[in-house]
Amino acid sequence: MSATPLTPKSPESTVLKPSAFAGLQPDEPLWKRVPSRDDAGHLLADFRMIFPGLRQKSGIRQQHTLRIINAVLQHYGSWVVFADLNMRINLLWVSIRPRPGLTLEIPAAIKTLVPEALLLAPYWRR
């Protein structure tokens, strides 16, 4: 699976790839919507990034940042399973197929293009 093109659905949350759990509601906490396993049942790895002040920036600057994030995630499309950018709290949550170093490689690519981005927590699920 790969991330779908970024299309804003609401000002509060932009979903790059919908969750595989169709029965869940969008108002449920993100930790309940994020998949922990891929279609084959393999555990996924996650990372989260915060974009300080993104919500307060102009619409053009927001769209520019969203296009950058989308381009990076598309580049790693065969590894990205789920991505959610919550504009209300400026938080990007990405679930990927496990590969050593990838939870640092993708955020580093984003940070190179969006210097204000901060990596919050890369981790492997157990």
pLDDT at 123 (0 to 100): 54
Greater confidence (34 vs 10) lies with 34
pLDDT at 92 (0 to 100): 93
Q: Does the pLDDT at position 125 exceed 90? A: no
Greater confidence (122 vs 74) lies with 74
Distance between CA atoms of residues 101 and 70, nearest Å: 20
Distance between CA atoms of residues 100 and 115, nearest Å: 24
All domains of the chain in start order, with CATH? 44-120 (3.30.70.100)
Question: 119: part of which helix (H) or strand (E)?
Answer: strand 118-119
Q: How confident is the model at residue 32 (pLDDT cuts 50, 70, 90)?
A: confident
Percent of the chain with pLDDT over 70: 71
Read off the pLDDT of residues 66-99 as tens digits, 9 standing for 90 and up: 999 999 999 999 999 989 888 889 999 999 998 9
Percent of the chain with pLDDT over 90: 49
Distance between CA atoms of residues 64 and 87, nearest Å: 14
